[in-house]
Amino acid sequence: MYEDLKDKVAIVTGARRGMGRTHALKLAEQGVKVVVSDISGDDCQKVVEEIKALGGTAIACQCDISQKEQVDGLIKKAMTEYGRLDILVNNAGMLQWKPFLELTEQDWDKLIKVNLGGYFLCSQAAAQEMAKQKSGVIVNVASIAMGQVGVGFNGIVHYCASKGGIVAMAEAMSLELAPLGIRVNTIAPGAIDTPMAGLDQQDEKTKEATFARIPLRRAGKPEEVSNAVVFLAADASSYMTGSVVIVDGGWLAG
Ligand SMILES: NC(=O)c1ccc[n+]([C@@H]2O[C@H](COP(=O)([O-])OP(=O)(O)OC[C@H]3O[C@@H](n4cnc5c(N)ncnc54)[C@H](O)[C@@H]3O)[C@@H](O)[C@H]2O)c1
């Protein structure tokens, strides 16, 4: 247990399912009060009920992270309900498979507005509150598809651009926010078994080909990424800012 996390307040975006859900549950397990947020509000309430059933504290908040007014509403909801904001987990994201030569300007704008623009809007609005408290932690979920790692990915140029952008943005933000007591770190997951990865829809041959590239020979479980989120949210990582933590079963080492 990370004792310092008890009674802290966190917002987790994209938390109705997949990794966001397990980030919310794992933080709640540590005594963090969690705002479970997603573009789809109904399923957030189910995660809130799961947290409450385990003795934790949480509320749901529908929010499209690409819309500034909704993001401002999300931060306001956390402040109104819990009176402070200690942790922002930028996790919400979308993926679209399309060959580069077929990508439209609309495809590009839509994905970048969510995956990169949404992280900017949430980070800025959260940091404005955290700066008043002179403390806070922002944890971003990027991807090993962030570029400059020796592995490339076909058919997701705009997704890769967004994930590389998150890393660069977080690094630059960490400089400006360190004097204000706010740390910013990024996690780069490999293949994690969530609805986005769609492993359950792939045939055995395709899955085997992916796993053959991963030294641990399997996909990660969402909880295995959430463990890193909890560590980066806690004082245990107090000397880390501007860092990228890779959680990929050894893919980039292989
Ligand atoms: N699954 C993987 O293999 C993998 C690998 C590397 C990185 N990631 C990243 O991890 C994060 C979590 O993804 P996941 O795998 O759990 O996928 P997921 O699709 O299960 O979850 C993503 C969530 O984000 C929400 N969302 C999408 N657009 C939104 C918006 N505009 N506003 C608010 N919420 C929105 C979705 O509703 C969904 O609940 C994403 O940023 C993704 O890019 C995933």
Residue nearest to atom 32 of ligand 1 (CA): 64
> What is this structure's pTM?
0.99
Q: Which atom of ligand 1 is nearest to the CA of 163?
A: 43
Task: Report the C-alpha gap between 48 and 36 in whole angstroms.
Answer: 7
Evaluate if residue 254 carries a pLDDT over 90.
no
Beta strands 136-141 and 87-90, pairing class:
parallel
Straight-line distance from the first to the last Cα atom of the chain, in angstroms, rounded to the nearest whole number: 32
**Atom 36, ligand 1: residue with shortest CA distance:** 14
Question: Does 181 have pLDDT greater than 90?
Answer: yes
Q: Map out the domains of the chain as residue ranges.
A: 3-246
- How many other β-carbons are positioned within 10 Å of the β-carbon of residue 124? 13
Tell me if 45 sits within 8 A of 70, measured CB to CB: no
Architecture of domain 3-246: 3-Layer(aba) Sandwich (3.40)
Per-residue pLDDT of 86-129, as tens digits, reads 999 999 999 999 999 999 999 999 999 999 999 999 999 999 99
Nearest Cα neighbor of 174 from 232, 240, 114, 108 is: 240
Instruction: Tell how far the Cα of 237 is from the centroid of ligand 1, in angstroms.
Output: 24
Question: Is there a catalytic annotation at residue 239?
Answer: no
Closest residue by CA, ligand 1 atom 30: 64
Burial class (CB in 10 A: 0-12, 13-18, 19+), 176: exposed
- Mean predicted confidence (pLDDT) in 181-189: 99
